[in-house]
Amino acid sequence: MFARTSLATLMALAGAAPVLAEEVNVYSLRQPELVQPLFDLFTQKTGIAVNVAYVEKGMVERLVSEGGRSPADLVMTVDIARLAQVVAAGVTQPVVSEVLAANIPAEFRDPGNQWFGLTTRARIVYASKDRVADGEVTTYEDLADPKWRGRICTRPGTHDYNLGLMAAMIEHHGADYAKEWATGLRANLARKPEGNDRAQVKSIWAGECDISLGNTYYMGEMLADPEQAEWANAVRIVYPVFENGGTHMNVSGVAMTKAAPNHEAALKLMEFLSSDEAQKVYAETNHEFPVKPGVERSALVASWGDFTPDNLNLMDVARARPEALKLMEEVNFDG
């Protein structure tokens, strides 16, 4: 069910003729608290209601099953592989918009205009302030070095965020190297991979490990939570790089469904999400990196330091994901 059910939807379900009110229906993998402020602002500015269904699993299957009857206008998700998966399933449509083309750099949108990045995030290392010296962590490759034996925590290797990193490792060095790297990383784990990125920082705070993999924005979320702030203050953010590249990046993004019963209103929402105003909300509220050039990171995010983003094509990373999953399973990373 959508988080908000408009009068038009209720009347349609009752068999009555819908009223002429604009709305947009969104299937979102993003947590509701991360996107609702943006939708509320959009409704305030345009009068267009946004109805959100939080779909944690099976989004592609759901859209395929619904086909042309789908009520969804837009899909919002995280991770380039998931965006590519939605497009590959044939449930999206190309969107031609001068606004989106101007606001979103080419490297953060699909060449066929099927998906558009809205924010970026870096996959970084959280390091103990007490037990890891400045400059001790520099590259992703180094995480497989035996010097880290029993000192690393991470969420499951088969999670999308870690599969994205593994796919990038494949693109940089090839499958054989990536498999050897994953084997070394697994040998360095302090415990079985489990929990989310914040749980790993808690483990560092508790002394169970010294470094962990995580996405940047979780630092902001932890600092905003009275209980978790203590965990966050026990670590610092380190931006590792690939030996022949930069810091691993990923995106959150949006795509318009092929069904899109509210096409024009949905396009307005897409364009709004790429605007200066919305990008600033992303930066300040979600602690993510804006995709639109000229929109500054929040003061908090900027305080984490500068870094060099990796230059791999995101669609190449997405295409390597099946191989990444296969290799993670072969080394029994989560076993």
pLDDT given at position 130? 97
Predicted pLDDT at 33: 76
CA 325 to chain centre: 18
As a whole number of angstroms, the distance between CA 61 and CA 280 comes to: 33
- Can you list the positions of beta strands (E) in 79-196? 92-93, 116-128, 152-153
Which DSSP string corresponds to 179-242? HHHHHHHHHTBSS---S-HHHHHHHHHTTS-SEEEEETHHHHHHHTSTTTHHHHTTEEEE--B-
Pairing of strands 92-93, 235-238: unpaired
- Predicted structure pTM score: 0.86
Which backbone phi and psi does 291 adopt, to 5 degrees? -90, -25
Partners of 28 in beta bridges: 54, 76
Calpha distance 91→310 (Å, rounded) = 30
pLDDT of amino acid 32: 75
pLDDT at 16: 38
CA-to-CA separations, 85 to 11, 117, 255, 315, in angstroms, rounded: 34, 14, 11, 11
The burial of 293, by beta-carbon neighbours within 10 Å (0-12 exposed, 13-18 middle, 19 or more buried), is given as exposed
Which pair of structure tokens corresponds to residue 169? 């490792």
Rounded to whole angstroms, the Cα distance separating 212 from 132 reads 11
Nearest residue to 95 (alpha-carbon basis) of 215, 228, 273: 273
Taking residue 32's Cβ as centre, other Cβ atoms within 10 Å add up to: 12
What's residue 286's pLDDT? Answer: 87
Q: Which domains does the chain have, with CATH numbers?
A: 7-119+249-295 (3.40.190.10), 121-248+305-330 (3.40.190.10)
Tens-digit pLDDT string for the chain (335 aa)? 555 544 344 334 333 334 336 999 999 988 777 789 999 999 999 999 999 999 888 999 999 999 999 999 999 998 999 999 999 999 999 999 999 999 999 999 999 999 999 999 999 999 999 999 999 999 999 999 999 999 999 999 999 999 999 999 999 999 999 999 999 999 999 999 999 999 999 999 999 999 999 999 999 999 999 999 999 999 999 999 999 999 999 999 999 999 999 999 999 999 999 999 999 999 998 899 999 999 999 999 999 999 999 999 999 999 999 999 999 999 999 99
